[in-house]
Amino acid sequence: MNISIIAIGTELLIGQVIDTNSGDIATRFAPYGWNVNDIQVVDDNAFQITRAIDRAFESSDVVITTGGLGPTKDDITKATLCDYFGGEMREDPSVLENIKQVFAKRGLTLNDLTSRQAIVPTSCKVIQNTVGTAPIMWFEKEGKVLVAMPGVPFETREMLDSAVIPALLDRFKSNVSIEHRCVLVTGYTESLLAMTISDWEESLPDFLHLAYLPKPGLVRLRIDGTHHDKDYLINEIDRRHAELCRILGDHVLCDRDIPLEKLLLDELRARDLTISTAESCTGGNIAHMLTSIPGCSEMFNGGVVAYSNPVKESILGVSPKTLEKVGAVSEEVVREMVEGACKAFNTDCAIATSGIAGPSGGTEEKPVGTVCIGIKTPDGTVSRRYHFPGSRQRVIERASMTALILAIENLHKIKDNEADNK
């Protein structure tokens, strides 16, 4: 099934707002084998919107639009869709009641302008937006479907998962089974990884396909499969997935698709361990990543952003002599930081970072992008020095990802050591 996406909003074209909805939509449909073959970004202009819809329907059975459904005068998507699909604009009592409930939950007073969002084309079927006030509208024409969704990203994500995708899957039933398997791989560049598994990849049958999805310090391999015989497909994709994991051995960080922060917390939970963070150059980003996962409080006790040397000394117990001798950006200092974090937060494990994120502050010995990472587990303390090129934000992101990977790898060593001792 082919899908086209139309992101509507002048603010998207001038760079005032970044279009994240298109990526979210594509990501959510991919597991079902639905292909996004066209993404258009248009301004709040009736002619541009109409032309984009015509173009989208030429190649797709389903069109998803986002944006332009608000109550202000610049939001013209609803009226444009009414002109395109026919009918007239009328107030829908069920939409108005939904808007009232949303406002009541937020403790807000409903005004006349927002109430006007209950006016919708009679040619559409309404899907109630349970997390916002702009109704989702479902239009059909000559066997094809257009779903108009709000531009607010979290509303789009929530309603796609809870209502829109299930409705589309029911409308466009298929007898083709779809399966996916993932492997998270470390220690390889994308090109070297491709060379390493080239024979295995060449042996894949036509109904299986391998995708390379690289991230900093990590390559996600995704095996996609489609077949009319579901049992056969599952057996074959599982067999190939197991082969891939055996070939890559210790380079497999995880044999399923999962965010690194959740994977780390799962590894800690499995071992009944707790963790804390002591961050300098990453500025609390690692703690933020961990606390974005529900249930993290079982494993994560807390963290400190120890940006200055006095804070490193007073809160984490880093030795002034160590700081004077080797400097804050050093393997010795992050080792002392993780030890101090475990004591301060009463945890079994800890992650520490110290580096020069830039754009200034670098030296010949320690250029911008130099980052030291320390990890403490019950198996011991390790530290590594890295150099991450790029902007300040890029350095922070690379350092955070690498720290999570290093922590997971060291937790795996605990399991390996326990197996060796048996």
DSSP letters, 14-60, are: TTSS---HHHHHHHHHGGGT-EEEEEEEE-S-HHHHHHHHHHHHHH-
The confidence score (pLDDT) of residue 272 equals 97
Task: Check pLDDT > 90 for residue 359.
Answer: yes
Residue with tokens 């090109």: 191
- DSSP per-residue string spanning 345-382: HT-SEEEEEEE--SSS---SSS-TTEEEEEEEETTEEE
pLDDT of residue 416: 57
Q: Is the pLDDT of residue 415 over 70?
A: no
Q: Per-residue confidence at 106, pLDDT binned at 50, 70, 90?
A: confident
Burial class (CB in 10 A: 0-12, 13-18, 19+), 164: buried
- Name the amino acid, one letter, at 65: T
Query: What is the three-class DSSP state of 90?
Result: strand
Closest CA to 362 of 336, 384, 388, 401: 388
CA 214 to centroid of chain Cα atoms:
13
Structural tokens at position 174: 């298929």
Instruction: Give me the chain's average pLDDT, please.
Output: 94
Over range 166-193, report the average pLDDT.
Answer: 93
Question: Six-digit token pair at 358?
Answer: 């830039």
Sheet order of strands, 275-279 included: 300-305, 275-279, 349-355, 370-377, 380-387
Q: Cα separation of 171 and 357, whole Å? A: 50
pLDDT higher than threshold 60 for residue 99: yes
Q: How many residues does the chain have?
A: 422
Q: What is the mean pLDDT of residues 174-183?
A: 91
Q: With CA atoms as reference, report the closest residue to 217 among 175, 260, 180.
A: 260
What whole-number distance in Å separates Cα of residue 387 and Cα of residue 18? 29
- 3-state SS class at 319: coil
Over range 404-421, report the average pLDDT.
Answer: 80
Q: How confident is the model at residue 45 (pLDDT cuts 50, 70, 90)?
A: very high
In the chain, the percentage of residues whose pLDDT exceeds 90 is 88
> φ and ψ at 61, to 5 degrees?
-90, -20
Provide mean pLDDT across the span 251-279: 97
Instruction: Please tell me the distance from the alpha carbon of residue 118 to that of residue 68, in angstroms, as a whole number.
Output: 14
Distance CA 361, CA 300 (A): 32
CA distance 20 to 316: 39
* d(C-alpha 124, C-alpha 121), whole Å: 6
Whether omega for the bond prior to residue 359 falls within 30 degrees of 0, making it cis, is yes
Per-residue pLDDT at 113: 87
Q: What is the DSSP letter of 177?
A: E
- 395-417: average pLDDT: 91
- The CA distance from 276 to 352, in Å, is 9
Cα 148 to Cα 62: distance, rounded to the nearest angstrom? 11
How far, CA to CA in Å, does 329 sit from each of 366, 384, 395?
8, 11, 14
Average pLDDT over residues 275-283: 98
**389 burial type by CB count under 10 A (0-12 exposed, 13-18 middle, 19+ buried):** exposed
Tokens of 105: 């939950």
Residue among 52, 57, 62 at smallest CA distance from 12: 52
| pTM of model > 0.85 | no
Taking only the tens place, the pLDDT of each residue in 365-399 is 999 999 999 999 999 999 999 999 999 999 999 99
Residue 418 clears pLDDT 70, i.e. is over it:
no
Tell whether the model's pLDDT for residue 421 goes beyond 60: no
> Does the structure show a pLDDT above 90 at 401?
yes
Question: What 8-state DSSP symbol labels residue 187?
Answer: S
Contact between 55 and 38 under an 8 Å Cβ cutoff? The reply is: yes
For residue 159, give the amino acid letter.
Answer: M
Q: Please give the average per-residue pLDDT across 186-194, as a whole number.
A: 95
